[in-house]
Chain A
């Protein structure tokens, strides 16, 4: 091999002083195509030196580029993780709003207290504002839930009272059976006594109760004309009339309570749905945060691996350059001896 002494400083020093980007094109840095391909006469030490320097420069450029890309990926993942966590927090707060609040009596008590305080202290100007804010505060899931439970209880009691008072219309037996079926359906459904089948069994019993009621109604209709004829000349007794009026009042009360209960149920289910929606969104945000955090960690791992790999490559390249230097030195000595 036609080795020639290396002129100038060592490759290590050149590497340190080589401006970045100087050897952007390894072919240009190598000096000639022969240096890379080996040529007919083989590479000279200067060619090898250029190739090694070009490799070192490329490694540095590659490392810098990889580190920038890796850092950008880590930064992006971190930002997305933060955003997802922020969204999760917002949804958790929303969830808390959709499940909290003051109960029925607390809300009504506060409203009455504020109104009475404003009236007794003659702060009439503040009365509308206080009342409005108290009413707005009543719009919470706990309030509607309490109202629903209370209205249901009132409705059930009123239904029982109405049954006792108006049993005569469709016949006591028919009414009793219908009420028993409906009550059993209600009890099964409310207590979930039969597990997942409770809903269907409860619904079936309620429908059976309705069917019996329909039978009673049919009976009442068919006998209405006959009884009307029979009663046309007479008047009902006072006690019957009173019982029927009380029964009607109880039914009316129960009907009102049912309507209130249904309206409250609308509010409660709305809040429940909002709560579940918030849970779903929080879960989605948590999943995203976990995924982005995982990606961030992996990007950091990858970046560390790249840095380590580059360092290893640079160490190997440095060793190679040193070996090449020693070879050139030996060649120079042998030439000078010769």
Chain B
């Protein structure tokens, strides 16, 4: 075959395959395979990076959601607690007024009102506890989501790293094949040179 001045960067696998030289064909196939594999591995690495970024973002979102729920639950608890306290104070005030009242009827009504205040306070506290339970469940769910997303991000990171390493190895294969092709070209050129010298 004709000696060409192929270099590492201008080596065309398709031309080499058509040329018919077995050595060059093998090198060309290795280059083609290596390049395809490298492209695939790079695509995998990119998609895994994307997954990692998305999962990390979801993890952070879950953590932020938990923070907001803790804040909301705290505000709700605080408001419920203060209202319940005020109702308890109202109940106590009714009791005091009932004790001080000269009228038995008024005292009885005041005591009844006090009991209502007390019951309302207790009911409010119970409702607050139920809301607490709801928020606690939601926070647990956020924790679980954050942990699951962190695991996904870790796995994606590992997969991206492995794909990147594989792509580097593929590039090494391509480099080796290119080197082999260059050596073949060089050998062919030397043969042609020897023929020319003899002529």
Contact = CB atoms under 8 A, between A and B. Distances in A.
A17 interface: no
Interface string B186-199: 10011011001101
A251 B91 contact: yes
A211 B103 CA distance: 29
Nearest to B168: A301
Given A228-B104, A280-B60, A256 B119 contact: no
Nearest to A159: B88
Given A309-B8, A312-B179, A291 B53 contact: yes
Interface string B153-189: 1000100110010001001000100110010011001
A316 interface: yes
Contacts of A259: 81-82, 85-86, 89
Interface string A90-103: 00000000000000
A276 B69 CA distance: 10
Given A216-B115, A272-B74, A273-B68, A196 B140 contact: yes
Nearest to B69: A273
Interface residues of A, number: 100
A220 B67 CA distance: 44
Question: Considering residues A51, A198, A228, A257, which has the most beta carbons from chain B within 10 angstroms of its beta carbon?
Answer: A228
Interface string A254-274: 111111011101101110111
Interface string B77-94: 111111011111101110
B24 interface: no
A303 to B, nearest CB: 12
Given A207-B123, A217-B115, A244 B95 contact: yes
A153 interface: no
B100 to A, nearest CB: 9
Interface stretch (A69-77, A107-115, A125-133, A327-335): A327-335
A227 B104 CA distance: 8
B189 A265 contact: no
A320 interface: yes
A36 to B, nearest CB: 12
Contacts of A228: 103-109
A178 interface: yes
A227 B108 CA distance: 7
A252 interface: yes
Contacts of B3: 323
B41 interface: no
Grouping DSSP codes into helix (H, G, I), strand (E, B) and loop, the A interface class, with mixed when no group exceeds half, is helix
Interface stretch (B13-21, B28-36, B129-137): B129-137
Interface residues of B, number: 91
Contacts, number: 287
Given A258-B88, A305-B168, A178 B122 contact: yes
Contact of B193 (A198, A308, A320, A323): A323
Contacts of B161: 294
Contacts of B60: 280-281, 283-284, 287
Given A262-B78, A268-B74, A277 B114 contact: no
Interface of A: 48, 51-52, 55, 59, 62, 162, 166, 169-170, 178, 182, 185, 189, 196, 198-200, 202-211, 213-214, 216-217, 220-221, 223-225, 227-232, 236, 241, 244-245, 247-249, 251-252, 254-259, 261-263, 265-266, 268-270, 272-274, 276-277, 279-281, 283-284, 287, 290-291, 294, 298, 301, 305, 308-310, 312-313, 315-317, 319-320, 323-324, 326-327, 330-331, 334
15 contacts: A169-B95, A185-B129, A210-B125, A213-B118, A214-B119, A228-B104, A232-B103, A251-B91, A258-B84, A263-B81, A266-B75, A266-B78, A272-B74, A284-B56, A287-B59
Interface of B: 3, 5-10, 49, 52-53, 56-57, 59-60, 63-64, 66-68, 70-71, 73-75, 77-82, 84-89, 91-93, 95-96, 98-99, 103-109, 111-112, 114-116, 118-119, 122-123, 125-127, 129-134, 136-137, 140, 153, 157, 160-161, 164, 168, 171, 175, 178-179, 182, 185-186, 189-190, 192-193, 196-197, 199
Given A216-B119, A258-B82, 14 more contacts: A162-B92, A166-B95, A200-B133, A203-B132, A206-B122, A206-B126, A213-B122, A221-B116, A248-B99, A262-B85, A269-B74, A277-B67, A320-B6, A320-B186
